[in-house]
């Protein structure tokens, strides 16, 4: 699979490269928490979301691909939980 994000700064590219090399969610979280300041952690959070959104965009072709999500959302709406 290839994730491609356009228009990133060199720092954002570095963040994405490190995230992509992580094998587990815990490794991503450890990397994120190791960043020295809140601004860098915010950038990392944004890059994590951008990677997730691009992954979703590549895998969701039609609403039929969303059947599980619709089922969960329906249960939440009905139960209020």
* Predicted pLDDT of residue 29: 95
**Confidence class of residue 63 from pLDDT cuts 50, 70 and 90?**
low
Per-residue burial over 49-66, b if 16 or more Cβ lie within 10 Å, else e, is ebbeeeeeeeeeeeeeee
Is pLDDT larger for residue 77 or for residue 6?
A: 6
pLDDT digits (tens, 9 = 90+) for 17-49: 999 999 999 999 999 999 999 999 999 999 999
User: In residues, how long is the chain?
Assistant: 81
Give the integer Cα–Cα distance in Å for 19 and 74. Answer: 33
Give the integer Cα–Cα distance in Å for 74 and 72. Answer: 5
Q: Which two tokens stand for residue 81?
A: 């939980």
Predicted confidence (pLDDT) at residue 69 exceeds the cutoff of 60: yes
Average pLDDT, whole number, for the chain?
85
Predicted confidence (pLDDT) at residue 75 exceeds the cutoff of 60: yes
């Amino acid at each position: 699979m290839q994730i491609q994000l356009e228009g990133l700064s060199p720092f954002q590219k570095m963040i994405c490269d490190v995230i992509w090399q992580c094998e587990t969610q815990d490794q991503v979280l450890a990397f994120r928490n190791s960043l020295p300041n809140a601004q860098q952690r915010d950038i990392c959070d944004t890059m994590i979301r951008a990677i997730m959104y691009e992954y979703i965009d590549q895998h969701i072709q039609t609403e039929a691909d969303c059947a599980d999500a619709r089922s969960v959302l329906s249960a939440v709406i009905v139960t209020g939980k």
